[in-house]
Amino acid sequence: MATIRLGDKAPNFTAESSIGEINLYDYLGDSWGILFSHPADFTPVCTTELGTAAQFKGEFDKRNVKMIALSVDGAASHVEWIKDINEVQKTNVEFPIIADEDRKVSDLYDMIHPKADSTLTVRSVFIIAPDRTVKLMLTYPASTGRNFYELLRVIDSLQLTANHKVATPANWKNGEDVVVSPAISTEDAKTIFSKGVKEVKPYLRMTPDPTL
């Protein structure tokens, strides 16, 4: 069983999907990626999740993020299920749903947790950077649908902190003040961050979002 940790290379795979055979790396290209698994087709919570994901496509596109879903059912089942999703959620699912009947990808990404269910995937989330490294992992039980606003918030944080020497505080939202990296002295920070640095404590310095 594979064990993936933050910073590891996301395992590549080629698999059938609702839009035909895809290779993960080829599909992502130079984009960020979000890979999320679903326990099964034609299930209630999954239907709301995939519909919500489709409704958020514009927001993911703005952030150069490509979505890929997965369940352990087959491609033909996915295609039929998508019709239900589009009808119920009033949307249009365009991203691929991986057909993982042999559990190959599920095992590669450790998406099956036997104490939860021995055959179906839990609700795993992997955010993958353009360099193919895993930047975030989340695991939800089958009974709990994901919060896609939170996934967008995390992506905003990951993309901001990848390019600037900052971190994001609790409950941070895009555009709010950020934390200066502890690796930078306050003196240097005042030079780097021209919008100003507020020293709350020597180890806690705040500065406006450097991208605004």
| Residue 54 near residue 18, CB atoms below 8 Å | no
Task: Report which of 48, 11, 7 is spatially closest to residue 28, judged by C-alpha positions.
Answer: 11
| Pairing state between β 204-207 and 198-201 | antiparallel
3-state secondary structure of 83: helix
Catalytic residue among 34, 46, 75, 93: 46
Active site residue 107: no
Tell me the CA distances in angstroms from 8 to 2, 43, 64, 150, 198, one per residue in order: 11, 32, 21, 22, 35
Q: How many whole angstroms separate alpha carbon 172 and alpha carbon 175?
A: 9
Residues with active-site annotation: 46
